[in-house]
Amino acid sequence: MSVRNCLKPVLEKKLKLKKLTSYKFSKLTGLSIGTAHRIDDPNWVPSEKVLDVICRTFKIQPGEFLYWVPDSSEDQNTGSLSQ
C-alpha cells in the first residue's frame, strides 16, 4: 500500500510531548492498547472508525497525518487520466 501515516510525530508536536506512549494514546482516545501500539508503524492505515476517533479526539484532519508515497516500481505516468 502506498499510503503512510506520520501520526505519532504529528500528535507529539500538537500535544507538545517529547514522547507519546501507546498507553497515553489509548487513554486519550479510548481505543484499545493494540490499536495504540500501531501508531508507531508508518505502514498502518487506520480504519474509518479509528480515523474518526483520532480526528475527533485531537481535532485534526486525516491529511495532517496520512500521505501518499508512490511505489518504487510505479511509472510516473501510471494513474494519469487519458484523453
Distance CA 47, CA 51 (A): 6
Distance CA 4, CA 6 (A): 7
Domain ranges in the chain are 3-68
Residue entry with cell 510505479? 74
Q: How far is CA 45 from CA 17, 75, 76, 80, 81, in A?
A: 23, 24, 24, 24, 26
Q: Which CATH number fits domain 3-68: 1.10.260, 1.10.357, 1.20.1530, 1.10.3470?
A: 1.10.260
Count CB atoms within 10 A of the CB of residue 36: 19
| Averaged pLDDT for residues 64-82 | 73
Q: What is the pTM (predicted TM-score) of this model?
A: 0.80
More confident residue, 47 or 75: 47
